[in-house]
Amino acid sequence: MRIVRTVAEMQRVCRGLRTGGSVLGFVPTMGALHEGHLSLVRRARSECDTVVASIFVNPLQFAPGEDFAKYPRTFEEDCRSLETEGAGVLFAPDAAEMYPNGSVTTVTVSEVGDRLDGASRPGHFTGVATVVAKLFHAVAPTRAYFGQKDAAQLAVLRQMVRDLNFDVELVGCAIVRDTDGLALSSRNKYISAIERRHALVLHRTLLQLERMIAEGERQSISLVRRGMDTLNAEPGIRVDYLAIVDANNLLPVTSAETGTLVAVAAYVGSTRLIDNFLVR
Ligand code: AMP
């Protein structure tokens, strides 16, 4: 696996691969890789000739006071995992390379970018859209792979790709969970064994709502009320949102239909966790 540190070299390497006929599949990450990330790499490998991954803890998407400084960084181990999964190129720039002195341009996806996590974390999706736009310009992949785990992020990036005519296909990939049901996240490293037990209420709530929908309850009001009852019965967490929304624009819908997004965010201690499912 070739490790590249600069945008200029990345563009040269990827141009060479494309000219040689390679279809590039891109997996952007912030590192601290787990099975969720690796499932994206595997999917990319199965659909593309060369997998390009990136590891960059993007300062622009963290607000002051969030966990940028303590975000887990496990670069050597990540490289070994990516190599094992068959990634061909790893882009691992530093912050000065991505945001050199004097860079002032950002990408803001209005409306959809201000909903759900965008409402709770103002400016977060501007940071995400800006870095992903820059990464797309460095790699120019045919396909880019993102987890459904970050459903709002996926909606924001789909909007950006449409609005700015990026020539890339975004592929949403299923959420990977631990055996106890907790969605894998680099931030799970922050939580204690007791907090983890509290955190399981997120998945339990989603399973309850999925069951209610399967049994015929479609009204968002009733679903949210029941879901909030379950969440509020767990004193170890603080709910940020439980929302039933259109998966494309993240606006609330009155009735949960096929493709509707049911999403939850909550704090366990100071750690913010998210989870969701798409109605079948
Ligand atoms: P991150 O390193 O947190 O920025 O995540 C990089 C990519 O991995 C994003 O597209 C995430 O949605 C995806 N991802 C993170 N956790 C999971 C998971 N549990 N299952 C599937 N994809 C995930």
Compute the mean pLDDT over every residue in the chain, rounded to the nearest whole number.
Answer: 98
The whole-number pLDDT of residue 268 equals 98
Q: Is 137 a catalytic residue?
A: no
Cα→Cα distances 105→57, 61, 205, 267, Å: 19, 14, 40, 32
pLDDT in tens, 24-59: 999 999 999 999 999 999 999 999 999 999 999 999
Of 26, 30, 37, best ligand 1 pocket probe by most atoms within 8 Å of the beta carbon: 37
User: What confidence category does residue 137 fall into, taking pLDDT thresholds of 50, 70 and 90?
Assistant: very high
Amino acid, single-letter form, for residue 7:
V
Distance CA 247, CA 251 (A): 8
User: What confidence category does residue 265 fall into, taking pLDDT thresholds of 50, 70 and 90?
Assistant: very high
pLDDT in tens, 146-176: 999 999 999 999 999 999 999 999 999 999 9
Tokens of 200: 């399981």
The whole-number pLDDT of residue 106 equals 98
**203 Cβ closer than 6 Å to some ligand 1 atom:** no
Distance CA 278, CA 276 (A): 7
Give residue 153's region: left, alpha or beta (phi > 0; psi -120 to 50): alpha
Give the Å distance between the CA of 227 and the centre of ligand 1. Answer: 24
- The 3-state DSSP class for residue 249 equals coil
Segment 241-251 shows an average pLDDT of 98
Give residue 31's region: left, alpha or beta (phi > 0; psi -120 to 50): left
Segment 114-136 shows an average pLDDT of 98
- Atom 6 of ligand 1: nearest residue by CA position: 29
The whole-number pLDDT of residue 66 equals 97
The residues, ordered by sequence, that sit 6+ positions from 229 with a Cβ below 8 Å of its Cβ are: none
The whole-number pLDDT of residue 223 equals 99
Give the Å distance between the CA of 36 and the centre of ligand 1. Answer: 6
pLDDT in tens, 190-233: 999 999 999 999 999 999 999 999 999 999 999 999 999 999 99
